[in-house]
Structure 1
Amino acid sequence: MKKVDCIIIGGGIAGLQAAIQLGRYNHNIAVIDAQKGRSLIAKDYQNILGWPEGVSGKRLRSLGRQHAEKFGVEFFDGTVTSLEKKEDLFIMCTDDDIHYEAKTIFLGTGVTDNIPAIRNLYPTLGISTYICPDCDGYEIKHKQTVVIVGGNTGANMALTLLYWSKAIIYVNHSKTKINETFRKKLEENQIPVFEEEVEEVKVDESQNLQAIQLVNGKRIEAEKAFVAFKGNKINNALAKQLGVDVNETNHIHVNPRTKETNIPGVWAGGDLAAHSEQVTISMGDGTQAAIWIHKRLMGELPPD
């Protein structure tokens, strides 16, 4: 059994930032990563301080891992299948039957996006197809953009994106009912609505979106696209095994000052804990949690 001061479950942005900070405290830290984080599919973050030309999630994670390893942090690929607390220690096992014992835990297991299996869609993610208007609304400025979603969620997305472009087309891919209030708003804002599934995304040699083709054969020209479907999975199963509190949206409830959960010795951050789903906020969560993990390892009691 491997014994460490803190195990970070999830090697995404929050987990990596926590690992860097804790490594700099000279603690014995292990990161267990399933290599399935949403940042791996983000091809180009354009809203991060220090990266004016943008940076891919893959590169950011690679650099983060190198940074943490410089301070002695160890990384292990795998999925944690069980996690329990025994007295003041945490015991966990991975899918390859490796056991770990830790004094503290940081959960950075994040969110898995519900992205439809549309041909050629994945290669365009973060390049010309986006998920978060707050992150990437700027990228569609004055460009013809197709919103591939469903029901009222898609209608709301299409209306939100009018801030950036008036050339918005809404494809109700899931054919979910759109209520009359949203239909009226779409009509008032001259947003065309297509009640049909998308069969394929047409791309150029650089994986930039050129058009989408519906299953009925209709081709819709567009430079950009947004997708946002209900059913994103918040990866909170391990937290629930420990009895960690979750809120009404199934995100982990944490102390806003320390990022510690209701279970002493367990911290959480990033998309697992915050619904804002921003890389920079995940970084802050990781650093803030690491500071308080260090205090606990040094024997300080949690704040009131």
Structure 2
Amino acid sequence: MLHDCIIIGGGIAGTQAAIQLGRYSTYRVLVIDSGYGRSSVCHTYHNILGWPEGVTGEDLRRTGRKQAEALGVEFVQDTVMEAAQDGERFVLTTGTGKRFFSHTVLLATGMMDRYPEIPGLRDALGYSIYICPDCDGYEIVDQKTVLIGSGEHGSGMAVLLSERTPHLTYINHERAPIEERLLEHMRKLGIGYEEKKVAEVRSDDHRDIRSVVLEDGRELQADKGFIAFGGSHVRTELAAQLGVTLEGNRHIKTDSRTKMTDVEGVWAAGDIGLHSELSTIAMGEGTQAAIWIHKKLRKIHKSL
């Protein structure tokens, strides 16, 4: 079967695009989703219109999929391993050996943050330990906060977060080097500094952080936490296979109006693009890309 559009990634951007394309009631749309992404990690989003008490990434994925399926969009749980162009169509091959064909492709593969397997850390992510200062800096205002990170990536985050709270300690978990001038800058801002591994994150009900235990046995009390390790994985391998130009940080620069890449028929939306990595922006880009995919498909259908 030749699909009109295949969306790779069923996270925030991909599912929002699927809903928009489904509402045109015209196209054969398929979403190929691995079932796990950055939105799966985030237990609670607090910055989305209509959800003042917060909403989990999994809830958004689940309800969004139901909404798209009701509009005729098909979902397949699989992982696309290879992407190529064959004449006027695109060919996608999954890890299970299936091949799918489409007129257009939307890359919404997102990215994954790097963080170590510290006992208790994963459970509290999104509830009381955060990743994005733009999304969740508000949550730590005047709160006793620990930032667990690595080297200068973490020190940069510490300086940024110090604008939100004067009660901040940066724990350089990986003991990566930091220039003396940066350490001095943190000291001037009143940021505490520990160059120790974190042995455990302790929290109430596996949600609300109350302390972190260092490798030397000391326990640091905390009301909130952040992580900043750098080296996040931007999932643009398929874009590279299709010949899309990647920036130095491996993100994709798209047309600001259409969200199409520099390869005709290939769009990109969400965290793989060059922008602030926010769920609300991903929603907008998913919709924006879908509108211009619709314009492209109208031309294709008229020519058939």
Alignment partner, residue 14 of structure 1: 13
Q: Give me the whole-angstrom Cα distance separating, in 1, the residues matched to 2:280 and 2:274.
A: 12
Structure 1 unaligned spans of 5+ = none
One-letter amino acid of the structure 2 residue matched with residue 75 of structure 1: F
1:176-229 CA-to-partner distances (Å, cap 9, x unmatched) read 111122111111122221110101101112521110011111111111111011
2:176 matched residue in structure 1: 176
Which AA in structure 1 matches 2:246?
V
Q: Residue 274 of structure 1: CA displacement?
A: 2.9
Counterpart secondary structure, 1:249: coil
For residues 295 and 190 of structure 1, what CA distance do their matches in structure 2 show?
54
Cα separation, 2, equivalents of 1:148 and 1:46: 21
SS at match of 2:289: helix
Q: CA deviation at 1:35?
A: 1.2
Separation of aligned partners in 2, 1:176 and 1:83: 37
Matched, 1:165 2:155: no
Offset of residue 3 of structure 1: 2.2
Verify the 8 A CA contact 1:251 1:275 in the aligned structure 2.
no
Amino acid at match of 1:131: I
Segments of structure 2 that go 5 or more residues without pairing to the other structure are none
Tell whether the 8 Å contact from 2:245 to 2:262 is kept in structure 1 after alignment: yes
Deviations, residues 33-92 of structure 1 (Å, cap 9, x unaligned): 001210011111111112122111110111110110110000000000111101100011
Residue deviations 1:146-189 (CA, integer Å, cap 9, x gap): 01012121111111111211000111111011112211111112
1:238-257 to structure 2, matched below 5 A, reads: 238-257=238-257
Between the aligned partners of 1:231 and 1:281, the Cα distance in structure 2 is 22
Partner in structure 2 of residue 282 of structure 1: 282
1:84 & 1:126 partners in 2: Cα distance? Answer: 36
Q: Counterpart of 2:205?
A: 205
Report the residue type matching 2:232 in the other structure. Answer: N
Contact 2:211 2:220 in 1 (8 A): yes
In structure 2, the residue corresponding to 1:216 is in which secondary structure? coil
TM-score, normalised to structure 2, is: 0.96
3-state SS in 1 of match to 2:299: coil
Distance across 2 between alignment mates of 1:155 and 1:95: 39
SS at match of 1:272: coil
Q: Does residue 1:3 correspond to 2:2, yes or no?
A: yes
Q: Which amino acid aligns with 1:209?
A: I
Distance 1:205 1:59 in 2: 20
2:229 maps to 229
- Structure 1 residue 115, shift from structure 2 partner: 1.3
Q: Which residue of 2 aligns with 1:72?
A: 72
Structure 2 CA distance, aligned partners of 1:206 and 1:81?
35
Percent identical across equivalent pairs?
A: 45
Q: Take 1:52 and 1:148, find their aligned partners in 2: how far apart are those partners?
A: 27
Instruction: Return the alpha-carbon distance in structure 1 between the equivalents of residues 75 and 259 of structure 2.
Output: 22
Residue of structure 1 equivalent to 2:218: 218
Deviation string for 1:71-119 (max 9, x for gaps)? 0000000000111101100011111111111000000000011011101
- Contact preservation (8 Å) 2:123, 2:206: no
Distance 1:110 1:168, change over 3 A: same
Between stretches 9-18 and 156-165, larger displacement belongs to 156-165
Counterpart Cα distance in 2 of 1:79 and 1:47: 30
Paired residue for 2:93? 93
2:14 partner amino acid: G
Moved over 4 A (4+): none
Q: CA RMSD in A?
A: 1.0
TM-score by length of 1: 0.96
